[in-house]
Amino acid sequence: MKAYEYNAIRNVALISHSGAGKTTLAEAALYVSKAIDRMGRVEEGNTVSDFDPEEIARSISISASLIPVEWKTAKINLIDTPGYFDFVGEMLASLRAVEGAVLVVSSSGPEVGTEIAWKHLEESGLPGMFFINKMDKENADFSKTLQELKDLFGNKVVALQLPIGQEDDFKGYVDLLENKAFIYNKKGEFAQENIPDDMVDAVAEAREELIEDIAELDEGLLEKFFGDEQLSVEELKEVLKKGVAQRELFPVLCGSALKNIGVSTLMDAIVEYMPTPADRSADPFSAFVFKTIADPYVGKISLFKVLSGSVTPDSPVLNSTKEVEERIGQLFVLRGKKQIPVDRLLCGDIGGVAKLASTSTGDTLCDPKRSVVYDKISYPEPNLAMAIEPQSEGDEEKISNGLLRLNEEDPTFKVIKNNETGQFLLYGYGEVHLEVIVKKLMTKFGIGCQLTVPKVAYRETIKGHAKVEGKHKKQTGGHGQYGHVWIEFEPLHDKDFEFVDKIFGGAVPKQFIPAVEKGLRECMKEGILAGYPVVNIKATLVDGSYHPVDSSEMAFKVAASLAFKKGMQQADPVMLEPILHVEVTVPEEYMGDVIGDLNKRRGRILGMQPEGRLQVITAEVPEAEMFRYATDLRSLTHARGTFTMRFERYEEMPPQLAQKIIEETKLAKEA
């Protein structure tokens, strides 16, 4: 593949709700550009962009896939991104490598994934266009879908085409700017024909509306328009191009990727209206790494976009993010999983290189003589946690190393060891996200593991007072053991533990008092109810006795432990559970369902606050009730709700729930 200058390059992400047809559209683009001679199908698992075993098994995209297409005199770098919510990080990373996006929409209407894709497009400040796909399918309705897009995203959504027919009768479109009709054949070729008689009025009305929308962006055109002067197609296209670049207009095209209708026209529109990369070809080399592929055979592959200058194989470069030098080996462009070697990558193009030792996603590569660092990718915080455990004993280190490798490929998940429970917690965006990580551990690295519900780090404490005796007396041959204490136990609210020495007259010698405290602290690691750490206790040493020969530090530690167990039993012991501060952001129509669900989780609603068109519900909820919340909130709000949570404090558990935990612990010990 030849090197393309920046002005002949278009970098475009395909974004949408899952199932809208992005992968099929990418496949059709490859076919019409003659890069492949037969279109693959998602359900057959033979498309260029969905090649991972998990993608084939699930019939969904999991990773973003680069699909470079040479089209006429241009090169279009399409990035096919996942539409499934669990893999939103792939879309966010891809938006850092493009100048625009095509929002693919099903002909039955926009879905929640369309709204989410639009939101991320807006946050990225990128222009876009819509492609209403599946016009040949049952329930296809272009007019309804167009109106819904306008209702959702405003009147800057403008139709460039009207379809000729729909469902089984879909066969072409009318180009509103050219005022011409085009009918497609089975090869994806089209011929110009007369506008159907029954569409003449609708076309005239839609064309007038489009011209007015374009003219409003330019004073000269607007004067001509209101003066009933003829506006040429060329000047309309020129202003439309500027309007797209400035996000003033979002053109809408239509077609069927599966039947290859409208795909070549979409690619023409991408070349004509989408912005080119910035012209920084004269500057020293710099690039941004937006994706990493962890291949157990090839090694690590880094995909990057050249943001200035150019790069050739064997170039020394600086990883300015980590301040280490790297050497570029063989350069290539990826088309799905196929590597196409290239001799050079110019400013604005996207390519890859293997085996960069220190480089990871989000890093900047640049000329060692002129350092520059680009902002890293910002990902949402993953908030669904599951414990990950090996299927075979002793595989913990293998899992840790495998996750480290996969984290290079997918930086959106994180692994945290809970030192209290001893579990490794895997955090992701959803259940499918976590399942895919576990499957990849097996398929890529041969590591078997399973996901389980995390253990809750409960606590134990007391609500009452007790004064108890702890006496350890043991006589064996030679020296015996003697330690004797009286300790008062009471609740403490402002800290975990306080030890007070109130010994008078040397009832317990000073050298043994630290041993009493140490004995108590060691006992607090395991409470008497279910073996959880004990907190919020004040222990006052008030009396005791000793033996001049048989007393020792160890004897007083044992005496303290006996007093502790007795004191806990007599001072009304209770279980405590962690309480989380939770903030849920949802559209107003879902507030009732969300509040009702939080109440079922034993949550306390603290308040509600409007935030633009959304509502923020603040609540406190026990941690034990929140493990599946990411999945459940998505279901409740059709994926429109988001939430954050943080640890707030410990609170006493309801007795019936505490008893259940105590019984489960007892059964586990007996087993």
Banded pLDDT at 479 (limits 50, 70, 90) = confident
Q: Tokens in use for 503? A: 């010994």
Q: Which CATH number fits domain 384-452: 3.30.70.360, 3.40.47.10, 3.40.50.300, 3.30.70.870?
A: 3.30.70.870
The domain ranges of the chain are 8-197+248-273, 286-366, 384-452, 460-571, 575-657
Given CATH 3.40.50.2300, say whether it is the number of domain 8-197+248-273.
no
pLDDT at position 90: 96
Concatenating the DSSP letter of every residue in 53-80 gives HHHHHHTS--S-EEEEEEETTEEEEEEE
Residues with Cβ within 8 Å of residue 340, at least 6 apart in sequence: 1, 68, 332, 333, 334
- Specify the 3-state DSSP secondary structure of 348: coil
Q: What is the spatial distance between Cα 244 and Cα 572, in angstroms, rounded to a whole number?
A: 70
pLDDT of res. 445:
85
* % pLDDT > 70, the chain: 99
More confident residue, 106 or 419: 106
Strand partners of residue 130: 103, 252
Distance CA 655, CA 194 (A): 79
Phi-psi region of 470 (alpha: psi -120 to 50; beta: other; left: phi over 0): beta
Q: Which CATH number fits domain 286-366: 3.40.50.1820, 1.10.20.10, 3.40.50.300, 2.40.30.10?
A: 2.40.30.10
Please say if the pLDDT value at position 394 is more than 80: no
624: DSSP letter: G
CA distance 120 to 100: 12
| Domain 575-657, CATH among 3.30.70.240, 3.40.50.300, 3.40.50.620, 3.30.310.10 | 3.30.70.240
Q: Which residue has the tokens 């959304």?
A: 614
Residue 27's pLDDT is 96
Residues 6+ apart with CB under 8 A from 270: 10, 12, 76, 100, 102, 129
- As a three-state string, the secondary structure of 533-594 is CECCEEEEEEEEECCCCCECHHHHHHHHHHHHHHHHHHCCEEEEEEEEEEEEEEEHHHHHHH
- Residue 215: the pLDDT is 94
pLDDT at 188 (0 to 100): 57
CATH of 460-571, one of 3.30.70.330, 3.30.70.141, 3.40.50.300, 3.30.230.10: 3.30.230.10
The two counts, helices (H) then strands (E), for the chain are 16, 34
CB 158 within 8 A of CB 248: no
Q: What is the pLDDT of residue 477?
A: 64
* DSSP category for residue 623: G
Residue 126 CA, chain-centre distance (Å), reads 20
Question: Is 575-657 in the same CATH topology as 384-452?
Answer: yes
